[in-house]
Homo-oligomer: A and B are copies of this chain.
Amino acid sequence: MGKRNITLKDLSERLGFSVSTISRALKDHHDISQETKDKVQQLAKKLNYIPNHSAQSLKNSQTKTIGVIIPNLLLDFSSKIINGMIHQSRKEGYRLVISESGHNPDLEKDMLENMIRSGVDGILLSLTNNTKNIDHILLAKEKCPIVLYDKVSEKIPCTRIIVDNEIGAYNATKHLIDQGRKKIVFIKGAEHSFNAKKRFEGYLRALKDRQIKVDKNLIPQCDTVCIQEGTKLVNQMISKRIEFDAIFAVTDDVAIGAIKALKKHNIIIPKQVAVVGFSNSKGTTIIEPNLTSVDQPGYTIGIKAIEYLLKELKLAHQTEHLLRTTPKTIELKTNLIKRESS
């Protein structure tokens, strides 16, 4: 084996042209003769010449690399987002460096620094549920453009790609009300989560619209957002003899946990209690009855996140510096998928 990669210099020596001629010939530069171009391109192909990416990056001061930080890869929704990013970035000639923060703010900080250190043109960031201090993000933003997606914060002046959580939750709640449900439980999500808050607001607005009183007993709070927690909270409500005829949970997992609890107590779904989740993850069609859920366009979030980041990169490249664009918030539409559970 033992082969060093082919360089322009190699081609130039083989063909007797100067390196710059070779470079231009390969780029179809207009003032190189067709004959030369042919020769060069042929040899390049034959030797399988591949331009050195590091050298190009160094020269153009752009790496064609985008960093992605995601709190938890182990979710259908995350995979969909990443998928959208992969496809769009590929289309645009960028590659993706992906990291997982595990909802740990220290890791998040570290990864942000690492990405910048290792050379990316921009970063797509979804915050951890525990990110309270945002200094490290503001600092990173000085060094390289950041676009927030899914888990965002209003305190960070960056473009944000999110779904209309509030409207999605409003519609889901209204859907339950329209069925005549009056005692609708809302299982709340992580304390500091922007999305969880918005969903709660949507729930409240729907109740208000239909003049249903808010009952604090019907609003339990998750410690961790998972199946077990949904089961636990519903079990608690049942043993406290709290009455309710519907459950709207902040995520599908929590809703699935709720269904499990209801079934254990022989409560008939949806006749006695209807259940709705949020995200439209794969589990919705595994659990029985199939779970009604608010679909979030994860794939599109990924696409849009790349698109908006690239817009900023182009702008920054033109003006040759990072600029404080007024941060836009892009809200994508959710869509209620009705299934057996409601």
Residues of A within 8 A of B (CB): 1-3, 5, 48, 50-55, 57-58, 61, 63-65, 73-76, 78-80, 82-83, 86-87, 90, 95-100, 114-119, 142-143, 227, 256, 263, 282-283, 285-288, 320-324
Q: How distant is A228 from chain B, measured CB to nearest CB, in Å? A: 10
Minimum distance in angstroms from A57 CB to a CB of chain B? 4
- In the complex, the answer to whether B52 meets A119 with C-beta atoms within 8 Å is yes
Q: Which of A50, A75, A78, A256 gathers the greatest number of chain B CB atoms within 10 Å?
A: A50
Residues of B within 8 A of A286 (CB): 227, 256, 283, 286-287
Is B3 within 8 A of A321, CB to CB?
Answer: yes
A98 to chain B, nearest CB (A): 5
- Sorted nearest first, the 9 A-B pairs with minimum C-beta distance are A53-B119, A2-B321, A54-B57, A54-B58, A1-B322, A74-B79, A286-B286, A283-B286, A73-B79
- Assembled-state Cα–Cα distance A76/B78 (Å): 11
Distance (whole angstroms) from the CB of A120 to the closest CB of chain B: 9
Contact B227 A285 (CB under 8 A): yes
A117 x B288 contact (CB < 8 A): no
**B117/A50 in contact, CB under 8 A:** yes
Q: What would be 22 A-B contacts, judged by CB atoms less than 8 Å apart?
A: A1-B323, A2-B322, A3-B322, A48-B143, A50-B116, A51-B117, A53-B63, A55-B58, A57-B57, A58-B58, A65-B97, A73-B82, A74-B79, A74-B83, A79-B79, A90-B114, A95-B97, A95-B118, A227-B285, A263-B288, A282-B283, A287-B287
